[in-house]
DNA sequence: CATGAATGAGACTTCATTCAT
DNA sequence: TATGAATGAAGTCTCATTCAT
């Protein structure tokens, strides 16, 4: 088992999946880009599905690294900003992976892993919101709804920026956070 | 050409596409559900792609009917609510179509019509925001970003509620609007 | 049974078969050109094959009318010329039928009738040649070979003239007959 | 890519096309005769059309090899004979290919290559005839007509001999050449 | 007599996977 | 470990023919 070959295949697969989508990405495309023979592919992966899941897994692992739960004993807004910017920078640096993750095919059983990540993310956001509420910083609201709103907003924003050139990420992030917070906090100027 | 048969096929196709997704939806499934012969399908549609586009077109046409541009000479918040609720009620009544539209496959060329609709929607929202700004109601912000945020939020919320039973839609909508507005308006209590 | 409808179908079929060839000529084309319904077609013909045979039969019947066996008690060369010219004029007037007959598909069982006609024709030519030999006018030769040569030449010539505009038929025919009778070389013994 | 398999497929295709004709020759027949799987066929050929063209191309290439332009500085009649006999022997040895070439379907776009070959052939014959005329050997005649006559005769003769057993080819060829050169009548002026 | 919607066998083609070398 | 020729299940689409009205 040559690790190089396996990595090469994963890299090629990532490219191909992001360019063509799962269904139009053929084993031929992947092995051609990797420059290996058809049989070699099946030495490293059981199936097309397996390599696809491997590609997804890596992206999700990366994202889990980037997003840190909020620690209320430090500057909260800063941590929120840091998480958001981190995700956006990752997306910009890994457009291939980002496309695969963001444009996941709901009917493709392999991409359940993405849903689980999103669910976790929503849970994390809800927890942060709840903390904010119990700390008296945020209004009493349906945290699930707002977690969904935050995730949905992020998805849409990221879709936009990975298709565009030249985005002022830090400014964008601040604007977003301000949008969210000014809607959520009890009284202006208090945070 | 029997209109009944065509409608039957479209209805079956809608169901099948929403249950299996474009790629795993086979003509066999559609005709089996419709209870017609293979040849009959091709009497009404040139290809799987054509019936898929027809299904999409109908959904988009419906949605365009539902969403009305904001008229600033009437109660704005009411109109926003009406649009949002309209879309959500439609989604709840047409879960099949909603799934197909929301979970569109980015790499499927047939679903460009959905993108165009979303782009239009974003444009409409931006226009409303700009009006609000020029009327002095809303803060001066990047309207495109917030239009994306609104659309993204709606997508995520709708995904959630069509998978859940029993959602208090009107309450949900009010909460959303309040979330958005309290973040956007210049000063509290002014609207 | 309306004779008009039947004739209309045959006429349309002739056109379609000659334009598209047997395999690409579809019942749809024929009925569309005739302006009748699909079911009507099967009121008059059992199958595509049957109408094809009917079209062929008519052409062959026409040709049998035109070609007369040589009567040695009259001017032979004149009768030969008359037959040849007759066939060529018929071909020019009925390009559709001529194409179908000339370009028959060897593997299409329906067109056996054409072969039978050609065989008859070859037989007639052989008889004429034999008479010419026994009358001491023609050289003692393999009559079958020359009958084939004459038929093959006619086929090729007719193919040519139905694709071209403006052919001087009578001149062409005379040239052919002279060629068959006297050959290409200027003076005997010279080559 | 295994050359053997490709050749096997071509050989099988040739057989099948000649036995059934283009339209009734199915991929199933070809792969069954070759003893390979369905997918294997498409490893070597894009489509039924492609293998058909390949089969034709080979036949035409062979024929172009066999037929040599007449060189007037050598014995002309001998060269003509040599060409004719060459073609006939080829036809006898390759009855499959010959059937496909001779009985080409006018409406089948794939077989244009055959027409081009026949056109070339007619051109070559015309050139030879023109040389003969300018050398004072042949009568001044419409060379195109006679080229057509020669080609048509050859076609018809070959059709006959590939269906028959036991033909005395060299005798037949000599008879043909004599016919073309000297015609049918015993002595000039007598008719 | 006429209609035309419906049928379904069967053609072509694709592509993930296997396996002998 | 690597290769790449071979596989075959399964999908889309066609079109002559049928039959209820």
Q: Which two tokens stand for residue D136?
A: 């004072």
Residue in chain C closest to D184 (alpha carbons) equals: C181
Span C95-104, average pLDDT: 95
Separation in Å, CA of A61 to nearest CA in chain B: 23
Q: What is the pLDDT of residue B189?
A: 40
Q: Which residues pair with B185 in a beta bridge?
A: B138
* Residue with the larger pLDDT of the pair C83 and B178: C83
Q: Find the length of chain C.
A: 191
Is A169:A89 a contact under the CB 8 Å cutoff? Answer: yes
Touching C (3+ Cβ pairs <8 A), the chains are D
One DSSP character per residue, A64-117 reads: HHH-----TTS-HHHHHHHHHHHHHHHHHHTHHHHHHHHT--TT-GGGHHHHHH
Express each pLDDT in B18-46 by its tens digit: 999 999 999 999 999 999 999 999 999 99
Express each pLDDT in D162-181 by its tens digit: 988 778 888 899 889 888 98
Q: What is the pLDDT of residue B183?
A: 54
Which chain B residues are Cβ-neighbours of A122 within 8 angstroms?
A: none
Q: How far apart are CA D14 and CA D52, in angstroms?
A: 8
User: What phi, psi does B164 have (nearest 5°)?
Assistant: -95, 160
Place of tokens 């593997």: C107
Tell if the CB–CB gap between D103 and C108 is shorter than 8 Å: no
Touching B (3+ Cβ pairs <8 A), the chains are A
Output the pTM of the full model.
0.91
Place of tokens 């790629």: B23
Residues 45-104 in C having a C-beta less than 7 A from any atom of strand F are 47-49
Q: How far apart are CA A56 and CA C113, in angstroms?
A: 68
Express each pLDDT in C33-85 by its tens digit: 999 999 999 999 999 999 999 999 999 999 999 998 888 888 888 898 899 99
Separation in Å, CA of C160 to nearest CA in chain D: 8
Is B58:A142 a contact under the CB 8 Å cutoff? Answer: no
Is D121:D86 a contact under the CB 8 Å cutoff? Answer: no
Tell if the CB–CB gap between D179 and C141 is shorter than 8 Å: yes
Q: Which two tokens stand for residue D73?
A: 């500085």
Which chain B residues are Cβ-neighbours of A151 within 8 angstroms?
A: 156
User: What phi, psi does A139 have (nearest 5°)?
Assistant: -65, 155
Band (pLDDT 50/70/90 cuts) for residue B185 is low
Strand F nucleotides, any atom under 7 Å from protein beta carbons: they are 1-20
E strand or H helix that includes residue C154: helix C143-163
Q: How many helices (H) and strands (E) does chain B have?
A: 9, 0
Nearest to D173 by CA among C46, B145, B87, C142: C142
A interface toward B at CB cutoff 8 Å? 20-24, 99, 103, 105-108, 141-142, 145-146, 148-149, 151-157, 160, 172, 175-176, 178-184, 188
Closest residue (CA) to C1' of nucleotide E17 is: A47
Q: How far apart are CA D144 and CA D122, in angstroms?
A: 8
Q: How far apart are CA B43 and CA B58, in angstroms?
A: 20
Q: How far apart are CA D100 and CA D113, in angstroms?
A: 12
Residue in chain A closest to B180 (alpha carbons) equals: A183
Q: How far apart are CA C70 and CA C134, in angstroms?
A: 14
Residues 40-99 in A having a C-beta less than 7 A from any atom of strand E are 41-42, 47-49
Is A30:A9 a contact under the CB 8 Å cutoff? Answer: yes
Q: Which residues pair with A185 in a beta bridge?
A: A138
Show Cβ contacts of residue A66 under 8 Å, excluding neighbours closer than 6 positions.
A83, A86, A87, A90
B49 CB contact with strand F at below 7 Å:
yes
D38 CB contact with strand F at below 7 Å:
yes
Place of tokens 């199933």: D28
Q: How far apart are CA B60 and CA B68, in angstroms?
A: 14
Q: What's the half-sphere exposure (Cβ side, CA atoms, 13 Å) at D181?
A: 17
User: What phi, psi does D166 have (nearest 5°)?
Assistant: 50, 80
Is A31:A22 a contact under the CB 8 Å cutoff? Answer: no
Tell if the CB–CB gap between B183 and A188 is shorter than 8 Å: no
pLDDT of residue A191 exceeding 80: no
Q: Is C56 helix (H, G, I), strand (E, B) or coil?
A: helix
Instruction: Give the Cβ contact number of residue C181 at 10 Å.
Output: 18
Closest residue (CA) to C1' of nucleotide F1 is: A1
Which chain C residues are Cβ-neighbours of D106 within 8 angstroms?
A: 21, 99, 103
Q: Which two tokens stand for residue A163?
A: 């298709």
Closest residue (CA) to C1' of nucleotide E18 is: A39
Show Cβ contacts of residue D145 under 8 Å, excluding neighbours closer than 6 positions.
C157, C172, C175, C176, C179
Band (pLDDT 50/70/90 cuts) for residue A89 is very high
User: What phi, psi does B2 have (nearest 5°)?
Assistant: -100, 120
Distance in angstroms, CA of D35 to C1' of F7?
Answer: 12
Band (pLDDT 50/70/90 cuts) for residue B74 is confident
Residues 19-78 in C having a C-beta less than 7 A from any atom of strand E are 36-40, 42-43
pLDDT of residue D49 exceeding 70: yes
Distance in angstroms, CA of D36 to C1' of F1?
Answer: 29
Q: Do chains D and C touch (3 or more CB pairs under 8 A)?
A: yes
Nearest to A8 by CA among A56, A49, A53, A40: A40
Touching A (3+ Cβ pairs <8 A), the chains are B
A179 CB contact with strand F at below 7 Å:
no
Express each pLDDT in C136-175 by its tens digit: 888 888 899 999 999 999 999 999 999 887 788 888 988 8
């Amino acid at each position: 088992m040559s690790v190089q070959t396996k990595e090469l295949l994963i890299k090629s697969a990532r490219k191909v999946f992001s360019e063509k989508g799962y269904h139009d990405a053929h084993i031929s495309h992947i092995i051609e880009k990797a420059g290996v023979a058809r049989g070699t592919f099946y030495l490293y992966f059981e199936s097309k599905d397996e390599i696809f899941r491997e590609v997804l897994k890596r992206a999700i692992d990366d994202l889990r690294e980037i997003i840190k739960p909020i620690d209320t004993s430090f500057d909260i807004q800063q941590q929120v900003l840091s998480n958001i910017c981190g995700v956006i920078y990752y997306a910009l640096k890994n457009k291939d992976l980002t496309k695969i993750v963001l444009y996941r095919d709901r009917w493709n059983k392999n991409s359940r892993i993405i849903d689980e990540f999103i669910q976790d993310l929503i849970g994390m956001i809800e927890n942060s919101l709840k903390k904010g509420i119990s700390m008296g910083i945020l209004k009493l609201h349906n945290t699930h709804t707002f977690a969904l709103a935050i995730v949905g907003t992020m998805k849409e924003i990221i879709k936009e920026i990975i298709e565009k050139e030249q985005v002022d990420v830090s400014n964008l992030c601040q604007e977003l956070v301000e949008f969210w917070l000014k809607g959520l906090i009890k009284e202006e100027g208090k945070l």
